[in-house]
Amino acid sequence: MQYINVGKENSKEINLHYEDHGTGKPVVLIHGWPLNCGSWEKQESVLLDAGYRVITYDRRGFGQSSKPSNGYDYETFSADLDKVIKALNLHEITLIGFSMGTGEVTRYLGEYGSDRVEKAVLLSSIPPYLLKTSDNPMGVDQSVFDGIMSAIKSDRLAYLTQFLHDFYNLDVLEGELISKQVNQYSWNVASRASPIGTYECVKAWLTDFRKDLRNINVPTLIMHGNADRILPIDATGRRLREAIKDCKYVEVDNAPHGLIWTHADQINTELLDFLS
């Protein structure tokens, strides 16, 4: 397995597992919480067939990457992404983030700029700012996140079952656009993530990305499902299109949060059109 070192905790190295396939212009895929880089299965094969070099990696604490007790914030996550990009000497990149991965893309462009980046894609986004505050009345109440953290701490595995139910809108889409087996696989992957990382990442969801968004100066594709129960479209996608100057915005009808699987054909068609 291939790893990139991004730091050290006490006596142990912090390494990120990554996959690097194909040739052509590089596309970096950044997964959502609490899954791993394998969640891009339906996109990777299509991108490879279209002639792109596809790089995926597991965020710290998830998949086959190291599981430290710290660094679960977007300052660290974007620094990890920067180390991946530099270690592989990538240029003319398209950064594609899904869910929590949209935070890495946004913070990276805000902090590190676009010298190495040609385009960006944000799918089921966390930005611009998820928390409801006096200057962000469209956000989500703090009590919601407190409840999530309490549920994870009380019984992480039971919480993952409920989370994935709403991630895929199983009551509506199971048997049609999502199988029991895919849902079970997602639960298996999520259950093996770092318990500490799973919990601490919830705090990172409350990051304010509004300043970062002002610095995005590359063409950007935004896609969001209008049936997203995890990151409501009114608080995220519909506001995001107003915050990025050069963007294409696509709402996916009846799509849940996990649209990269349930609505993969539509997502992939839009991706290839945007990339070309």
The yes-or-no answer on residue 224 being catalytic is no
**What is the tally of helices (H) and strands (E) in the chain?**
11, 8
CA distance 98 to 105: 9
Active-site hit among 99, 124, 125, 186: 99
Q: Which of 17, 65, 228, 263 is catalytic?
A: 228
Report how far apart, in Å, the C-alpha atoms of 151 and of each of 18, 144, 157 are.
30, 11, 9
Distance CA 59, CA 62 (A): 6
What is the per-residue burial (b if ≥16 Cβ within 10 Å, else e) of 30-68? bbbbbbbbbbbeebbebbbebebbbbbbbbbbbbbbbbb
CA distance 59 to 63: 7
- For residue 158, the Cα-to-chain-centroid distance in whole angstroms is 22
Active site residue 99: yes
β-partners of residue 128 are none
Q: Is residue 194 annotated as part of the catalytic site, yes or no?
A: no
Q: How far apart are the C-alpha atoms of 276 and 273, rounded to whole Å?
A: 5
Rounded Cα distance, 4 and 245, in Å: 34
* 167, 257 contact by CB (below 8 A): yes
Indicate which residues carry an active-site annotation: 99, 228, 257
